[in-house]
Amino acid sequence: MKKDFTPALLDFGALQIYLARHFGFCYGVENAIEIAFHTIKENPGKKIFLLSEMIHNPQVNEDLQQRGIRFLQDTYGRQLISFDELNADDIVIIPAFGTTLEMEKKLKQIGIRTEKYNTTCPFVEKVWNRSEQIAKKNYTIIVHGKPRHEETRATFSHAAFNAPTVVVNDMKEAKILAKYIRGEKPAAEFTEDFKNQYSEGFNVQEHLQRIGVVNQTTMLASDTQEIADLLKQTMIDHYGLTEANSAERFADTRDTLCYATYDNQEAATGMLKVNADIAIVVGGYNSSNTSHLVELCEKKLTTYFISSEEKILSSTEILHYNFHTKEELLTANYLPIHLPARILITSGASCPDALVEAVIRKLVSFYPENISMEKMVESFERGK
């Protein structure tokens, strides 16, 4: 059945909020958090570490730290606690992004069982499995992802174990890679163009003859598809193929797109069809999937990226994040002056629903003539 991506209208009177049909926690995030809290409960007195942030949400990570969990590394893999402090009796939780084969090996050498406390998202593992499948058919793996992101580093490690692998960050880099496929750029320049983004022993002349594209699951689905289409057409044109026999040079990997990321993005697109005044996106500032929701909304209307309701300072001021420049900005008079005010709201896959509710309550409080949140909930209950 065709999915309905029409947003839910919360009509408070003077304020109308259009809430995305799909938003917030996905299965992978919920599963990871559940495992982490269960581990804490079942192991009182034990030293428990997280390899890095559980998910890209400051509130969730702070909660885990308050319960005694310590982070071994930061988001970019920089060491916070030496591995020399670990022993075989300690617990190390692998975050939802997964980890590299090299890291798994290092932990196992210490005697730490990684399989029992591994919260890697099943959809990330699906990408790894698909990479292995096409590697067995002698395809080189092209990973569309952010090179420094934990998930991309993990996917690169797993892919590179089975096949030559290169990471492309965006369409610009994909077009550069296409030039190497067509022989339009000298192979000697590859190491600089893709510095720290290719597997050991990568040979441009040899390893770009058969390729397949997989992705960091939180990338913009349309971007991954555009990159895959570009590289597929490059192979067809360069080798004189047709759509029918393109598999000789290009592996079909459409099934590596995460359904939750896709649904959230499609729901944001559906929400943007509403004639609204502004959009608010809630989530962690270092969250890849949240930044892509912001990117979608920005194309249509003024968008404010906030991490919690605390960033809404008052009815006249909001502190929001510009993910392009990596800085927080203070904006005045952000709310529309006409009534009813129409606001679109969505959130990233690592954002708890309670944060979205808190944002809505804060906005509602600025319009005293509104009906209350409680009455709004009652009306929805009656409508079931």
pLDDT of residue 53: 78
177 with 235: CB under 8 angstroms?
no
pLDDT of residue 174: 97
For residue 258, what are its two tokens? 């995460």
Buried/exposed 161-185: b ≥16 CB within 10 Å, e otherwise: bbbbbbbbbeeebbebbbebbeeeb
CA 55 to chain centre: 10
**3 state DSSP class of 135:** helix
pLDDT in tens, the chain (384 residues): 457 899 999 999 999 999 999 998 888 888 888 988 999 999 998 999 998 877 777 888 888 889 989 999 987 788 999 999 999 999 999 988 899 999 999 999 999 988 889 999 899 999 999 999 999 999 999 999 999 989 999 999 999 999 999 999 999 999 999 999 999 999 999 999 999 999 999 999 999 999 999 999 888 888 898 999 999 999 999 999 999 999 999 998 876 777 778 889 999 999 999 999 999 999 989 888 899 999 999 999 999 999 999 999 999 999 999 999 999 999 999 999 999 999 999 998 888 899 999 999 999 999 987 677 777 777 666 665
Nearest-10 Cα torsion for 148, 150, 154, 155: -70
72 with 50: CB under 8 angstroms?
yes
pLDDT of residue 1: 42
What residues does 343 pair with on adjacent strands? 17, 278
For residue 321, what are its two tokens? 């994040």
Outline where DSSP puts E strands in the chain: 8-11, 15-19, 48-50, 70-71, 91-93, 140-144, 165-168, 211-215, 250-251, 278-282, 303-306, 317-322, 327-332, 341-347
Q: Which residues are catalytic?
A: 151
